[in-house]
Structure 1
Amino acid sequence: MLKAIFIDHMGTLVYEQSEYLESLIQKCVDHSIEKDPQKIAEMWYQKHDELLKQYNGENYKKEYDIALEAFDAIKEEIQLEGDSHEYCDLLTQHWMHTPAYDDTYDFFAQCPLPIYIITNNDTYYVEESMKNLELKPKGIISSETTHYYKPAKEMFEKALEITKLNANEAVYIGDSLNKDMEAAKSVGMRAFLISKEKTDDPQVTVLESLLDVFEYL
Structure 2
Amino acid sequence: MIKAVFIDFYGTVVYEDGEVIQKVSQEIFVSGKVNDKSEIGSYWWNEFQTAFNNAYGDSFKAQRILEYKSLEKTIKHFKSSADAVKLSNLMFRHWIEPPIFEESKQFFELCPVPIYVLSNIDRADVLQAIKYHGLKPAGVFTSEDAKSYKPRKELFEFALNNVGLSAGEVLHIGDSLSSDIKGASSVGINAIWVNRNNREIPSGVTAVKNLIEIFDTKYFLHE
TM-score by length of 1: 0.91
Q: How does 1:1-217 map to 2 (within 5 A)?
A: 1-17=1-17, 20-34=20-34, 36-195=36-195, 196-202=198-204, 204-215=205-216, 216-217=219-220
RMSD of aligned Cα (Å): 1.8
**For 2:95 and 2:152, how far apart are their aligned partners in 1?**
21
Equivalent AA in structure 2 for residue 169 of structure 1 = E
**Any idea what SS the aligned residue of 2:5 has?**
strand
Give the number of equivalent residue pairs. Answer: 216
**Any idea what SS the aligned residue of 1:181 has?**
helix
Provide structure 1 residue ranges, at least 5 long, that are not aligned to the other structure: none
- In structure 2, relative to structure 1, the CA distance for the partners of 1:20 and 1:76 (3 Å cut) is closer
Alpha-carbon deviation of 1:30?
3.5
Equivalent AA in structure 1 for residue 180 of structure 2 = D
Equivalent AA in structure 2 for residue 209 of structure 1 = N
Alpha-carbon deviation of 1:198?
3.4
**For 1:106 and 1:31, how far apart are their aligned partners in 2?**
43
Alpha-carbon deviation of 1:91?
1.2
- In structure 2, relative to structure 1, the CA distance for the partners of 1:136 and 1:24 (3 Å cut) is farther
**For 2:46 and 2:113, how far apart are their aligned partners in 1?**
35
C-alpha contact (below 8 Å) 1:18/1:98 kept by paired residues: no
**Any idea what SS the aligned residue of 2:103 has?**
helix
**For 1:31 and 1:136, how far apart are their aligned partners in 2?**
43
Alpha-carbon deviation of 1:18?
6.1
Provide structure 2 residue ranges, at least 5 long, that are not aligned to the other structure: none
Alpha-carbon deviation of 1:16?
1.8
**Any idea what SS the aligned residue of 2:61 has?**
coil
C-alpha contact (below 8 Å) 1:56/1:148 kept by paired residues: yes
**For 2:91 and 2:124, how far apart are their aligned partners in 1?**
14
C-alpha contact (below 8 Å) 1:174/1:192 kept by paired residues: yes
**For 1:35 and 1:17, how far apart are their aligned partners in 2?**
24
- In structure 2, relative to structure 1, the CA distance for the partners of 1:182 and 1:19 (3 Å cut) is closer
**Any idea what SS the aligned residue of 2:64 has?**
helix
C-alpha contact (below 8 Å) 1:18/1:94 kept by paired residues: no
Alpha-carbon deviation of 1:149?
0.3
Equivalent AA in structure 1 for residue 13 of structure 2 = L
TM-score by length of 2: 0.89
Give percent identity, aligned residues only.
31
